[in-house]
Amino acid sequence: MKHAALWVILLTMPVRSATVPHNSRHASTTQFVDTSEVRAALAWFAHNLTWINEQQIRLSEIPAPPFQEAQRAFAVKALLASSGLEVQIDKTGNVIGELRGANEKEIVVLSAHLDTVFPAATDVKVRHEGDRLLAPGISDNGTGLAALVAIARACHESRIKPRRTILFVADVGEEGEGNLRGMRALVDAYKPRLKAVIVMDGSGTDHVTTKALASRRLEATITGPGGHSWSDFGMPNPINALVRASVRFINTKVPVAPRTTFNIGQIEGGTSVNSIPYEAKLKVDIRSESEDELAKLESALRECITAGVRDEMESSRDRSKGKLEWKVELLGNRPGGELPANSSLLAALRSADEYVGNQSRVERSSTDANVPLSNGIDALSIGAGGTGGGAHSLKEWYEPAGRELGLKRVLLTLIGVSGIAEEKAR
């Protein structure tokens, strides 16, 4: 192909934009890439929708409970390798497929999490109802994984050579007590070279998560000597203390803005109805748009537990057989952060939206993007197209209609931030 025909048109404005870019003040940073390779990659999706559906079904039918993602990881590794990527599985269990760029010193990550919330015994066989696919995990994150392997293959078959190196990553530990460990390890490993992270999570094209919702999960444990309900009456009771502490805690005032929430999600303790328990526990989830409010709420919980224990000790008649002990442990901590409004990643997403004729609203949520955002690295999380519902439930479903638009949107955003290598660099 002749030099002049190839090209990377790095324009100062989106090339097909009919309207003023969303972020017009910073439109000069937008890099809209229009080359024959990119056009070929965009066209690849329409011709391979059946194959993409099949990969989604196959991957979703491999169970991937928390901390047991290995089997699904091997399947994704094979798919990425068959698309010409150099693929490895890191110590944490992340699958990392590399598409080397002209500039290896700069990296862009496209990721989708491997894990589901469902325990190992869950039936994950995919059922079909018309065009609808039903299975736990089919959308979250079967859609993201299918998009990951599809975009890798589209880049390979259309011979895209990016400017920055692209890592296609299927990561572990996004859900629940996985506590984002896959993304944490990835950011740790690549931090100095990591320029942007695009997270694909679930379906849809209607949103872009650029604000990371900070959250913490805490477990309070109160222990005591324990005894008999009749003969030891009057000794301090850990469940009583926990109830006293809980009543105090749920009366904590939290602001409407910045939105701040708490939830006592689990409570357990005791051995039998006629025993004074020796242990009681509760688990609390706290979230906030503000790290400060989050920190305040965590100290409020600690104060309430201290006060509950003190109240119970003060009202107990018999303190001779021992006292109550307590501790509050952090089970999980998802850091907050926010993608700057003038970031080139957001500009790339907005250009992609314009190109495919999509509108999306900005959201705040807790996703894998929390980790890079809290490290000051540009990141966002988006759906990978089609429609889905019932996430985290046994009735979860996915409909592929419209998937192509979602895939194009992701590809254009990815190429927008990775760039395309100049011909001499190939």
Nearer to Zn ion, 48 or 55 (CB): 55
Going by C-beta distance under 8 Å and a sequence separation of 6 or more, which residues neighbour residue 377?
187, 191, 194, 195, 196, 197
Do the beta carbons of residue 355 and residue 34 sit within 8 Å?
Answer: no
The least CB distance from residue 117 to Zn ion, in Å, is 9
Q: Determine if 404 is a binding residue for Zn ion (CB under 5 A).
A: no
Nearer to Zn ion, 82 or 393 (CB): 393
Site for Zn ion in 166-205 (CB under 5 A): 201
Residue 128 burial (CB count, 10 A): 10
Strand boundaries in 59-176, DSSP class E = 86-89, 95-99, 103-113, 127-129, 132-134, 164-171
Site for Zn ion in 198-237 (CB under 5 A): 201
Binding mask 134-153 for Zn ion (x = CB under 5 A): ------xx------------
What does the block give as tokens for 339?
């993608």
The least CB distance from residue 247 to Zn ion, in Å, is 35
Nearer to Zn ion, 34 or 140 (CB): 140
Do the beta carbons of residue 160 and residue 77 sit within 8 Å?
Answer: no
Nearer to Zn ion, 105 or 392 (CB): 392
CA distance 63 to 72: 7
CA distance 19 to 71: 46
The least CB distance from residue 164 to Zn ion, in Å, is 26
DSSP letter for each residue of 12-49: SS-TT-SS--TTGGGGGG------HHHHHHHHHHHHTH
Site for Zn ion in 376-395 (CB under 5 A): none
The least CB distance from residue 292 to Zn ion, in Å, is 27
The footprint of Zn ion on this chain (CB under 5 A) covers a number of residues equal to: 3
Residue 344 burial (CB count, 10 A): 17
Do the beta carbons of residue 353 and residue 270 sit within 8 Å?
Answer: no
Binding mask 313-352 for Zn ion (x = CB under 5 A): ----------------------------------------
The least CB distance from residue 215 to Zn ion, in Å, is 15
Nearer to Zn ion, 346 or 384 (CB): 384
Residue range at the interface with Zn ion (CB under 5 A); choices 15-23, 133-141, 209-217, 352-360: 133-141
Chain positions contacting Zn ion, by CB under 5 A: 140-141, 201
